[in-house]
Amino acid sequence: MATTGKYKYTDIVFEIKGKIGIIKLNRPKSLNAFGGRLLIDVISALRELNEHPETVFTVITGEGRFFSSGADVKAMLTRKEPEYANLAEKKVATVAGFAEALELVRSMVDHKKVLVLALNGPAVGGGAAWFEGQADIVLAAEGAYLQVPFSALGLVPEFGSATAFSQSMGVHRANDFLMFGRKLTVDELEKYGMVNRILPKENFHQKVLEFLEAQLEVNDGKSMMEMKRLQNLPLRRDRLMALYDALDALSERIAEGAHTKRFAQKNAELAGKSSESIRGSMMRSR
């Protein structure tokens, strides 16, 4: 059933089915990029489920072929850069601009219910980094993968992901993924302990529900939530500190303009490839 709250969700589908709350990213045309009201919708849903008296599991998943492509790059490229008096003013403005992202990750760190990430498809950038490390259980569809381009764009691993991933898969694997931007297939993710179960892609969302409902038939919800609380208690301070440290490092890189130079290079490369493709088509048509 849909929730009974007064807030109107626009960029997610939010449902409660028995003891399972479902947050489905719903911007499939943009591959569920973080545009529109998507982030504030997810934050609002997490708050609502955190206080729900009956739910045990909170599922975050996506509509369409991608879980999430992360930042809305098209919007970033068309956004006019404001004028700043100095780097200090630019950094402060950058930090303020990340308020929604900061609160989203904090909300996942402090979420009381068992947080299930259901990767219905690939996840890139923030879509890969923000959710995977904070989830308690990860279920993934066949063919899903994770990839982050932080180093390629002159940025840094976002919002505590360096700490969360190293805690989950080990330092060297996390370095390979976050530092070098290597794509991790769903089979590798399962091997590294980042994915609990790989489920068939067909009827994936229904299979996720069936799996969780089966756990509720044999396991006490309160006990599972207490297990999560006890395990995460000593990790919470580290993860919140990592969240702040990453925000500081990311804001410094952006204030320096490192990403702008990288974006310009990437756009020039893409434009060059496009021109070569057009010239090749013209030559072949003669």
* 263 pLDDT tier (thresholds 50, 70, 90): low
> Is-contact 141 121, C-beta < 8 A?
yes
Q: Quote the pTM value.
A: 0.87
Would you state the structure tokens that stand for residue 141, as one six-digit string?
């569809």
First to last CA, the chain: 60
Confidence of residue 278 (pLDDT cuts 50, 70, 90): very low
Domains and their CATH numbers in the chain = 12-257 (3.90.226.10)
Predicted confidence (pLDDT) per residue in 206-258, tens digit: 999 999 999 999 999 999 999 999 999 999 999 999 999 999 989 888 888 87
| Beta carbons of 50 and 112 less than 8 angstroms apart | yes
Backbone φ and ψ for 43, nearest 5 degrees, come out as -60, -45
| Closest alpha carbon to 146 in 192, 202, 201 | 192
DSSP letter, residue 32 = T
Helix, strand or coil, per DSSP, at residue 273: helix
**Rounded CA gap, 112 and 221, in Å?**
12
On the question of pLDDT at 129 being above 60, the answer is yes
What is the structure's pLDDT at 135?
95
Joined together, the tokens standing for residue 104 give 């989203």
Query: Rounded distance, CA 24 to CA 42, Å?
Result: 9
- Beta carbons within 10 angstroms of residue 242's beta carbon: 23
Nearest to 16 by CA among 57, 67, 68: 57
Sign of CA dihedral 77, 108, 144, 187: positive
The pLDDT assigned to 281 comes to 46
Confidence of residue 81 (pLDDT cuts 50, 70, 90): confident
Burial class (CB in 10 A: 0-12, 13-18, 19+), 38: buried
